[in-house]
Amino acid sequence: MKRLFIFSKSTCLACFKRCCFQGWKTVFSFLLVFIVGSGNVRMQGQNKIVINTNDAKHIISKHIYGHFSEHLGRGIYGGIWVGEESPIPNTRGIRNDVVDALKSLQIPNLRWPGGCFADEYHWRDGIGPRDQRPKMINTHWGGVVEDNSFGTHEFLDLCEQLECEPYICGNVGSGTVEEMSKWIEYLTFDGESPMANLRKQNGHPDPWKIKFFGVGNENWGCGGDMTADFYADTYRRYAVYCRNYSDNRLYKIAGGPNTSDYYWTETLMKKVGNKMNALSLHYYTIPKSWGDKGSATAFDEAEYFTTMDKAYFMRELVEKHTAIMDKYDPQKRIALAPDEWGGWYNVEPGTNPGFLYQQNTLRDALLAAVTLDVFNRHCDRVKIANIAQMVNVLQSIILTDNEKMLLTPTYWVFDFYKVHQEATMLPISIAGVKYELAGKSIEAISASASRDKSGKIHITLSNIDPHQSQTVSCELLGFKTKKVSAKILTASKITDHNTFDHPKTVVPEAFKDVKLSNESLNIVLPPKSLVAIEIE
Nearest to 69 by CA among 85, 84, 59, 81: 81
Query: How do beta strands 66-68 and 109-112 pair?
Result: parallel
* 440-443: long-range contacts, CB 8 A cutoff, minimum separation 24: 440/305, 440/309, 442/305, 442/308, 442/309, 442/312, 443/312
For residue 210, being part of any structural domain is answered with no
Q: Which of 363, 397, 422 is the last residue of a domain?
A: 422
Query: What is the CB neighbour count within 10 angstroms for residue 501?
Result: 8
Q: Are residues 283 and 406 in the same domain?
A: yes
Report pLDDT for 44. 65
- Asked if residue 284 is part of any domain, the answer here is yes
Omega before 358 cis (within 30°)? no
Instruction: Considering only the C-alpha atoms of the chain, give the largest distance between any 2 of them, rounded to a whole number of Å.
Output: 94
Q: Tell whether 408 and 325 lie within a shared domain.
A: yes
pTM: 0.91
> How do residues 203-253 score in pLDDT, each as one tens digit?
999 999 999 999 999 999 999 999 999 999 999 999 999 999 999 999 999
- Domain membership flag for residue 246: no
Which residues span the domain enclosing 152?
62-164+263-422
> Identity (one letter) of the amino acid at 437?
L
**Based on the domain organization, do 107 and 37 belong to the same domain?**
no
CB atoms within 10 A of CB 496: 18
In terms of domains, do 273 and 318 share one? Answer: yes
Amino acid identity of residue 301, one-letter, is E
Residues 445 and 527 reside in one and the same domain:
yes
- CA proximity to 242, closest of 337, 173, 191, 169: 169
Amino acid (1-letter code) at residue 480: K
Q: Is 519 a catalytic residue?
A: no
C-alpha span between 474 and 535 (Å, rounded): 12
pLDDT < 50 stretches in the chain: 1-41
Query: What is the C-alpha separation between 85 and 83, in angstroms, rounded?
Result: 6
pLDDT computed for residue 301 by the predictor = 98
- Does residue 209 sit within a domain? no
Tell me the C-alpha distance between 130 and 306, whole Å.
Answer: 46
Domain membership of residue 236 (yes or no) is no
Residues 384 and 485 in one domain: no
Please pick, among 218, 303, 316, 319, the residue that the annotation labels catalytic: 218
* Residue 347: other Cβ atoms inside 10 A: 19
The domain tally of the chain equals 3
Task: Find the catalytic residue in 319, 340, 534, 536.
Answer: 340
Does residue 340 have an active-site annotation? yes
List, in order, residues 6 or more apart from 384 with CB less than 8 Å away: 61, 63, 64, 66, 109, 167, 212, 253, 278, 335, 337, 339
Q: What is the pLDDT of residues 380-395, one digit of tens each?
A: 999 999 999 999 999 9
> Could you tell me if residue 507 is inside a domain?
yes
Q: Which residues sit opposite 72 in a β-bridge?
A: none
Q: Are residues 97 and 143 located together in one domain of the fold?
A: yes
Last residue of a domain, one of 362, 390, 422: 422
Please tell me what DSSP assigns to residue 291: S
Residues 319 and 467 in one domain: no
Statement to judge: residues 160 and 288 lie in one domain: yes
